[in-house]
Amino acid sequence: EIVMTQSPVTLSVSPGERVTLSCRASQTVTNSLAWYQQKPGQPPRVLIYGASTRASGVPARFSGGGSGTEFTLTISSLQSEDSAVYYCQQYNMWPSLTFGGGTKVEIK
Protein backbone atom coordinates (compact mmCIF):
# COMPACT_ATOMS: atom_id res chain seq x y z
CA GLU A 1 0.00 0.00 0.00
CA ILE A 2 1.23 3.50 -0.82
CA VAL A 3 1.41 5.64 2.32
CA MET A 4 0.81 9.39 2.02
CA THR A 5 2.41 11.65 4.64
CA GLN A 6 1.40 15.29 5.01
CA SER A 7 3.17 18.14 6.77
CA PRO A 8 2.75 20.16 8.81
CA VAL A 9 -0.20 18.77 10.78
CA THR A 10 -1.44 22.26 11.64
CA LEU A 11 -0.70 25.67 10.18
CA SER A 12 -1.79 29.06 11.56
CA VAL A 13 -1.61 31.82 8.97
CA SER A 14 -2.74 35.44 8.63
CA PRO A 15 -5.13 36.46 5.85
CA GLY A 16 -3.33 37.48 2.68
CA GLU A 17 -0.26 35.34 3.40
CA ARG A 18 1.06 32.62 1.12
CA VAL A 19 0.62 29.05 2.36
CA THR A 20 2.41 25.92 1.19
CA LEU A 21 1.35 22.42 2.26
CA SER A 22 3.44 19.32 1.63
CA CYS A 23 2.60 15.73 0.78
CA ARG A 24 5.02 12.84 0.38
CA ALA A 25 4.30 9.40 -1.09
CA SER A 26 6.10 6.27 0.14
CA GLN A 27 6.76 5.33 -3.51
CA THR A 28 6.31 7.12 -6.79
CA VAL A 29 2.77 7.96 -7.87
CA THR A 30 3.97 9.86 -11.01
CA ASN A 31 1.44 12.75 -11.21
CA SER A 32 -1.58 10.74 -9.98
CA LEU A 33 -2.19 13.05 -7.06
CA ALA A 34 -5.26 15.01 -5.97
CA TRP A 35 -5.86 17.57 -3.23
CA TYR A 36 -9.12 17.93 -1.30
CA GLN A 37 -10.46 20.59 1.06
CA GLN A 38 -12.77 19.62 3.91
CA LYS A 39 -14.71 21.98 6.15
CA PRO A 40 -16.46 20.83 9.37
CA GLY A 41 -19.58 18.78 8.76
CA GLN A 42 -18.98 18.57 5.01
CA PRO A 43 -17.55 15.93 2.69
CA PRO A 44 -14.19 16.62 1.05
CA ARG A 45 -14.21 18.78 -2.08
CA VAL A 46 -11.67 18.21 -4.86
CA LEU A 47 -9.36 21.16 -5.54
CA ILE A 48 -6.57 19.72 -7.69
CA TYR A 49 -6.07 16.56 -9.75
CA GLY A 50 -3.21 15.39 -11.91
CA ALA A 51 -0.96 17.09 -9.32
CA SER A 52 -1.48 20.54 -10.85
CA THR A 53 -4.85 20.85 -12.63
CA ARG A 54 -7.49 22.88 -10.82
CA ALA A 55 -10.90 21.26 -10.63
CA SER A 56 -13.95 23.06 -11.96
CA GLY A 57 -14.85 26.20 -10.00
CA VAL A 58 -11.70 26.25 -7.85
CA PRO A 59 -10.24 29.75 -7.34
CA ALA A 60 -6.95 30.54 -9.07
CA ARG A 61 -5.24 31.20 -5.72
CA PHE A 62 -4.99 27.41 -5.31
CA SER A 63 -2.16 25.72 -7.19
CA GLY A 64 -0.55 22.29 -7.06
CA GLY A 65 2.94 21.15 -7.93
CA GLY A 66 5.33 18.25 -7.80
CA SER A 67 5.62 14.76 -9.21
CA GLY A 68 6.94 11.35 -8.23
CA THR A 69 6.93 11.34 -4.44
CA GLU A 70 6.93 15.03 -3.44
CA PHE A 71 3.94 17.33 -3.89
CA THR A 72 2.79 20.77 -2.74
CA LEU A 73 -0.46 22.68 -2.51
CA THR A 74 -0.04 26.46 -2.46
CA ILE A 75 -2.62 29.07 -1.54
CA SER A 76 -1.21 32.31 -2.93
CA SER A 77 -3.18 34.68 -0.69
CA LEU A 78 -5.08 33.07 2.17
CA GLN A 79 -8.73 34.04 2.56
CA SER A 80 -10.85 33.49 5.68
CA GLU A 81 -12.98 30.93 3.84
CA ASP A 82 -9.87 28.80 3.26
CA SER A 83 -9.86 27.66 6.89
CA ALA A 84 -10.20 23.90 6.50
CA VAL A 85 -8.38 20.58 6.54
CA TYR A 86 -6.54 19.71 3.33
CA TYR A 87 -5.88 16.13 2.21
CA CYS A 88 -3.72 14.73 -0.53
CA GLN A 89 -4.79 11.48 -2.20
CA GLN A 90 -2.95 9.25 -4.68
CA TYR A 91 -4.63 7.26 -7.44
CA ASN A 92 -1.61 5.71 -9.15
CA MET A 93 -3.16 2.27 -8.78
CA TRP A 94 -6.64 3.52 -9.75
CA PRO A 95 -9.34 2.77 -8.74
CA SER A 96 -7.51 2.00 -5.50
CA LEU A 97 -6.89 5.18 -3.50
CA THR A 98 -5.07 6.28 -0.38
CA PHE A 99 -5.34 9.57 1.46
CA GLY A 100 -2.90 11.46 3.64
CA GLY A 101 -3.58 12.35 7.26
CA GLY A 102 -4.36 15.98 6.49
CA THR A 103 -3.10 19.48 7.26
CA LYS A 104 -5.36 21.82 9.21
CA VAL A 105 -5.11 25.45 8.10
CA GLU A 106 -6.21 27.95 10.71
CA ILE A 107 -6.66 31.68 10.27
CA LYS A 108 -4.76 33.91 12.74
Partner 1 sequence: QLQLHESGPGLVKPSETLSLICTVSGDSISSADFYWAWIRQTPGKGPEWLGSVYFSGRTHYNPSLKSRLTISLDKSKNNFSVRLTSVTAADTAVYYCARQSELELDYWSPGSLVTVSS
In the complex, the smallest distance separating the C-beta of residue 9 from partner 1, rounded to whole angstroms, is 10
In the complex, the smallest distance separating the C-beta of residue 16 from partner 1, rounded to whole angstroms, is 28
Distances (CA, A) of 79 to 34, 54, 61, 67, 107: 21, 17, 9, 27, 8
99 and 38 Cβ atoms separated by less than 8 Å: no
Nearer to partner 1, 13 or 91 (CB): 91
In the complex, the smallest distance separating the C-beta of residue 42 from partner 1, rounded to whole angstroms, is 8
Nearer to partner 1, 5 or 77 (CB): 5
Chain positions contacting partner 1, by CB under 8 A: 1, 4, 34, 36, 42-46, 49-50, 53, 55, 87, 89, 91, 94-102
Q: In the 8-state DSSP scheme, what is residue 50?
A: T
75 and 19 Cβ atoms separated by less than 8 Å: yes
